[in-house]
Structure 1
Amino acid sequence: MPDHVLITGGAGFIGSRLARRFVDAGHTVTVLDALIPQVHGDDPATTSPMLRSIADDVEVIQGTVTSTDDLRRSLARATVVVHLAAETGTGQSMYEIDRYVETNVGGTAKLLDLLTNEENDVHRLVIASSRSIYGEGAYRTADGRTVYPSHRADADMAAGDFEVHVEGEDALELIPTGEDARLHPSSVYGITKQMQESLIMTVAPTIGIQPVALRYQNVYGPGQSLKNPYTGILSIFSTLIRQGKEINIFEDGLESRDFVYIDDVVEATFLAATHDAAGGHVLNVGSGVATTVHDVVSALFAAFGTEVSTRVSGNYRLGDIRHNFADTTALQQHLGFTPSVSFRDGVEQFVQWVLTQPVEGDNYQRSLDEMASRNLLK
């Protein structure tokens, strides 16, 4: 039977595409979104393509998860909830702590409080968790043990040593990080995402709601905000390339992430909300491939057909990790789904979309200045 799906943060990059996926599958959708200018511009009805793409087909409630009244109104007919609403950005979270905790943790607590104490028809609750809760990813020692290195020391990185270290161990081999890995987030953002996930996975089963936690890796693709300097290096570097400006590559450029294409993320999330076998599980959503910053720059240059100067500066941000890429075995096991868009193909599609968009102002440098003024960027 069709569900009535509430998507918090549903006018955003992931949410708007997910809303379209549910509508196309015959479900009814309500979107709760704060429509903040950093993401949607000053007049969302005209400045937000994401909002415009769904406005005629879903109920849009402009509001916030920090408001009990907004949440209550949004939950009125919901049978499935996909909780995407969150403040995002590892760096920004380190100095806007109260805002991140209030929205991410406080908003989730309010949602669960309403579901616990007021009548509702919700049977499935999907939380958009994050790879950031792992902190550093998994590594294998020379004798075959799996270890999870602690956060890198400021003194080591200042000396140009950006690798992770475990006392008493020689060189470590990077391996995929599974859902049973140690959770030790290195940023306020990561801590709030861990708390969101823990709250939902603990409370929902006690009130008869099946929870699913999806630990998204680095999501990218057409529709990603080019205005928001906290959305990731693909958007940031694309804007710099179009402006003809130099790209400052942090650390040594060998730090890596798992980049997963938006269409794969939307499909995994749709299945998590509708597939019977998903209930109760925590699942990584990633490509399962580690991609370095140098790889990102190379792929963007190829897709744009042009290059700008690059500088490997040795700059680094406190709270950043060195490596993490997902083990996606459980995603295949429980949802029968494996992300299929390669990074090269995904970047080509992303760049083709970027070229249709206006060249945005350089908000990135302002974000770096904010971090440097707080001694978080070295």
Structure 2
Amino acid sequence: MKILVTGGAGFIGSFLVDGLVKEGHQVTVFDDLESQVHPEKKLPAYFNRRAKFIKGDVRRPKGLKEAIRDIEVIFHFAAAVGIGQSEYKIKRYVETNIGGTANLLDILVNSKNRVKKIILAASMSEYGEGEYECPSCGIIQPALRTLQQLKKNAWELYCPFCKRPLKPVATREQARLNINSIYAISKKTQEEMVLNIGKTYGIPAVVFRFFNVYGPRQSLSNPYTGVMAIFLSRIKNNQSPIIYEDGKQSRDFISVHDIVRANILALEKKEADYQVFNLGSGKAISIKRIAEILAGATGKLIAPEITHKFRKGDVRHCFAALDKIKKVLGFYPKITLKDGVAELVDWSKTVEAKDFFGKAAGELKQKGLI
């Protein structure tokens, strides 16, 4: 098939391109080589030369329209990414994520094309806090922690009804979306737009809510990227990873290779059409433990710095329930955290890691977000 991958020169998109090319598809990549991800503003060395590349910005519909010509399937991965940054670069996130998606859908609706499926990369950030279990009241999805609570260093959550401590459980797709950032708003809006237009015009659409993706090719010099890459960059520069709160907050980390497998399954299976799926490992691990694992894998005795400070909008716990994706797509994660981290660390030896964490943290502090 003829497939377009927007954002296909980036971390996740480039691995998807590799997978699609390997499957025999004709792949076109549409990417603006944004400087925050690609500081040199040129195609990375890892880019698959068997794919066609078009430099373009989803905010500019003319180039996007040309890229879609003769395309049969679109993977829409182009996005501005960064929860904290989205709170002070609002226009950029809205124009890129919402406006760019609007341009894409407008072309599908109003121009002659051959597109018969669109697959969207959405985000677990849409959930806000994940689901929890109260021993007395059952499954609860609590409200976000208040500023007053955080100022007291009261990190964990309690049942809003009986006030007992809550235990985090896997978050299901039907959980309430407790949006807490412009980035999350933009990803939820993308979902609604893609599914609405898909159903209205009979274009099968699939949405994946990505959890914390890690692996080779994730920029080690982009302080707004995934937590693993940020921590690894600090460690490579002989600096302690900086951890907010007490480090016991947990997330779900999934290898980029598993992300690619799931997306290719969605391409091939009609059962995926018009569905929303969690895409994670299904396992929770503390942020502190991630920092320790990375340091151990590099062979450096660098302990994380636990600040006991907080960032506005951060959630305490969230990890994926995988029942739906297992049942509908037959997808099970294959890459263990141990193997995935080993691959990431080996790859990191071949690239430069500029530590800009202080710059990013300074911006957040200046804006009153820390």
TM range (shorter): over 0.9
Separation in 2 of the partners of 1:203 and 1:43? 33
Separation in 2 of the partners of 1:144 and 1:299? 35
Which of these residues, 312, 321, 325, is aligned with residue 327 of structure 1? Answer: 321
Structure 2 counterparts to residues 137-216 of structure 1, below 5 A = 137-169=130-162, 170-216=164-210
Q: Considering only aligned residues, what root-mean-square deviation do their CA atoms show, in Å? A: 1.2
What amino acid is the match of 1:209?
I
Conservation of the 8 A alpha-carbon contact between 1:82 and 1:273: no
1:350 offset after TM fit, Å? Answer: 0.8
- The answer to whether residue 60 in structure 2 is matched with residue 67 in structure 1 is yes
- The answer to whether residue 255 in structure 2 is matched with residue 250 in structure 1 is no
Separation in 1 of the partners of 2:137 and 2:349? 46
Residue 357 of structure 2 is matched in structure 1 by 364
Residue 82 of structure 1 is matched in structure 2 by 75
Conservation of the 8 A alpha-carbon contact between 1:187 and 1:320: no
What amino acid is the match of 1:182?
R
Deviations 1:283-326 (A, max 9, x none): 11000000101210121122111221432111211111111000
1:191 offset after TM fit, Å? Answer: 0.7
Which of these residues, 42, 51, 59, is aligned with residue 58 of structure 1? Answer: 51
Structure 2 counterparts to residues 200-279 of structure 1, below 5 A = 200-279=194-273
Separation in 1 of the partners of 2:45 and 2:280? 25
Conservation of the 8 A alpha-carbon contact between 2:252 and 2:320: yes
Separation in 2 of the partners of 1:349 and 1:238? 13
Separation in 2 of the partners of 1:249 and 1:84? 28
What amino acid is the match of 1:146?
I
Separation in 1 of the partners of 2:80 and 2:158? 31
Aligned length: 369
1:340 offset after TM fit, Å? Answer: 1.5
Conservation of the 8 A alpha-carbon contact between 1:160 and 1:314: yes
1:335 offset after TM fit, Å? Answer: 1.0
Separation in 2 of the partners of 1:337 and 1:133? 22
Conservation of the 8 A alpha-carbon contact between 1:241 and 1:307: no
- The answer to whether residue 337 in structure 2 is matched with residue 337 in structure 1 is no
Deviations 1:25-74 (A, max 9, x none): 111011110101111122414xx234xx21x2111111111111011011
5+ long unaligned stretches in structure 1: none
Residue 288 of structure 1 is matched in structure 2 by 282
Deviations 1:162-214 (A, max 9, x none): 11234233111111001111011111101110000011111112112000000
Residue 42 of structure 1 is matched in structure 2 by 40
Which of these residues, 3, 6, 9, is aligned with residue 8 of structure 1? Answer: 6
Residue 107 of structure 1 is matched in structure 2 by 100
Conservation of the 8 A alpha-carbon contact between 2:30 and 2:67: yes
Structure 2 counterparts to residues 344-355 of structure 1, below 5 A = 344-355=338-349
1:104 offset after TM fit, Å? Answer: 0.5
Deviations 1:204-239 (A, max 9, x none): 121120000001000001111111111122111111
Q: Which moved more, 1:205-214 or 1:167-176?
A: 167-176
Separation in 2 of the partners of 1:309 and 1:19? 37
Conservation of the 8 A alpha-carbon contact between 2:5 and 2:30: yes
Conservation of the 8 A alpha-carbon contact between 1:5 and 1:27: yes
Which of these residues, 119, 127, 149, is aligned with residue 134 of structure 1? Answer: 127
Q: Secondary structure at the match of 1:40?
A: coil
Deviations 1:125-148 (A, max 9, x none): 101011011110001112252111
What amino acid is the match of 1:107?
G
Seq. identity, %: 38
Deviations 1:316-359 (A, max 9, x none): 1111111100001111111111112121221111111112222x
Q: List 4+ stretches of structure 1 deviating above 4 A.
A: none
Separation in 2 of the partners of 1:205 and 1:43? 37
Q: TM-score, structure 2 length as denominator?
A: 0.97
Structure 2 counterparts to residues 297-316 of structure 1, below 5 A = 297-316=291-310
Separation in 2 of the partners of 1:144 and 1:266? 38
5+ long unaligned stretches in structure 2: none
Which of these residues, 6, 27, 30, is aligned with residue 29 of structure 1? Answer: 27
Residue 112 of structure 2 is matched in structure 1 by 119
Conservation of the 8 A alpha-carbon contact between 2:198 and 2:274: no
Q: Secondary structure at the match of 1:213?
A: strand
